[in-house]
Amino acid sequence: MPICQLCHKDHKLRNSHIVPEFLYKELHNNKGHLAAINGQGNKGYKPLQQGLREYLFCECCEQHFNEYCEKPFQSQWIYAHPNTLPDPWSVSEPYWIKVDYNSFKLFHLSVLFRASVSSLANFSEVSLGPHQDKLRKMILNRDPGKFWQYPIFGVAVIHHKTKKIIHSVTMAYRTKYNEHTCYSLIYGGVQWSTSVSSHRNHEFERCALQEDGNMPFHAISWNELEVFQTAATMLRNTR
Ligand SMILES: [Zn+2]
């Protein structure tokens, strides 16, 4: 019998989300924009209506994710008023926000961890090696680590003309930044990137979420992001 991927106990597994469902709900509120991008269509991609699930975690661990990662993120990001980020994006400087460092970081690490233990095609680029178990323990112990451990960097994804934030959920993709491996996923209007390395990534961490909860954001047009370019081409070719 498969074990729970978080507590490693032999408990009954739930059909678990990788990216939490509430982030897909946002897509339905933003009709007309690109929806979630799934790596499983006949040409590689297709728009997604609902979040992907897999039998991964026990009920107790699902509650753990919900209580210590998802609920705090929801209240800080989704329900925050006024809007957490400028929308439309009207600033040229980096835009700083202040969040609760522990829960905000744990949320993003928990999504990356879930993507890592998932066997779904959408998350196949995530391969954390020894970092997977480190993240597992950090999440279980509710320990977000220092700001330079798995630093998280955010870029708002905006429309090239209207400058409005685009809500979408993408597959996970791997990039390199100064020889360090980074993983990115887009959800909640932002491309969240995590540097996964045994060595410090100084340049990256300066732009990342800081331990006092301050975090700078930049914006990038959706059509400059490779993941969207690929998906848009694929979608055109399947119609
Ligand atoms: Zn468990």
Q: What percent of the chain has pLDDT over 90?
A: 62
The Å distance, Cα 190 to ligand 1 centre, comes to 29
Ligand 1 centroid to residue 34 C-alpha, Å: 34
Distance 6 CA to ligand 1 centre (A): 5
Residue 44 lies in a domain: yes
Q: pLDDT for 162-207, tens place per residue?
A: 999 988 888 888 988 878 999 999 999 999 999 999 889 898 899 9
The answer to whether residues 158 and 228 touch, using CB atoms and an 8 Å cutoff, is no
Instruction: Answer for the pair 196, 123: CB distance below 8 angstroms, yes or no.
Output: no
Ligand 1 center to 9 CA (angstroms): 6
Cα 141 to middle of ligand 1, angstroms: 13
- Ligand 1 center–CA 5 separation, angstroms: 7
pTM: 0.89
**Phi, psi values for residue 166, rounded to 5°:** -95, 125
For residue 118, is it within any domain?
yes
Does 1 reside within a domain? no
The 10 Å CB-count burial string (b at 16+, else e) for 193-231 is bbbbbeeebeebbebbbbeeeebbbbbeebeebebbeeb
Q: Which pLDDT belongs to residue 42?
A: 45
150 C-alpha to ligand 1 centroid (Å): 23
C-alpha 99 to ligand 1 mean position (Å): 28
Give distance in angstroms: CA of 134 to centre of ligand 1.
Answer: 16
Q: Which whole-number Å values give the CA distances from 120 to 46, 54, 123, 221, in the listed order?
A: 15, 8, 6, 28
- Centre of ligand 1 to C-alpha 4, Å, is 5
Q: Is 122 helix (H, G, I), strand (E, B) or coil?
A: helix
Q: Is 46 inside a domain boundary?
A: yes
Q: Would residue 7 count as lying in a domain?
A: no
- Number of separate domains in the chain: 1
Domain around 234:
13-238
Statement: residue 49 has pLDDT above 70: no
Q: Give 125 Cα–ligand 1 centroid separation in angstroms.
A: 24
Q: Helices 131-140 and 101-117 sit at what angle, rounded to 10 degrees?
A: 130
| Distance of CA 142 from the midpoint of ligand 1 (Å) | 14
What's the CA-to-centroid distance between 118 and ligand 1, angstroms?
Answer: 15
For residue 177, being part of any structural domain is answered with yes
Residue 8 lies in a domain: no
**Predicted confidence (pLDDT) at residue 212 exceeds the cutoff of 90:** yes
3-state SS class at 174: strand
Say how far apart CA 166 and CA 188 lie, in whole Å.
9
> At a CB cut-off of 8 Å and minimum separation 6, what does 203 contact?
177, 178
Q: Which residues contact 45 (CB under 8 A, 6 or more apart)?
A: 37, 38, 39, 230, 231, 234, 235, 238
Residue 6, in any domain of the structure: no
Which tens digit of pLDDT belongs to each residue from 79-118? 776 568 999 999 988 999 999 999 999 999 999 999 999 9
Q: How far is the CA of 8 from the centre of ligand 1 (A)?
A: 6
The rounded Å distance from CA 12 to ligand 1 centre is: 9
From CA 47, how far away is CA 183, in angstroms rounded? 21
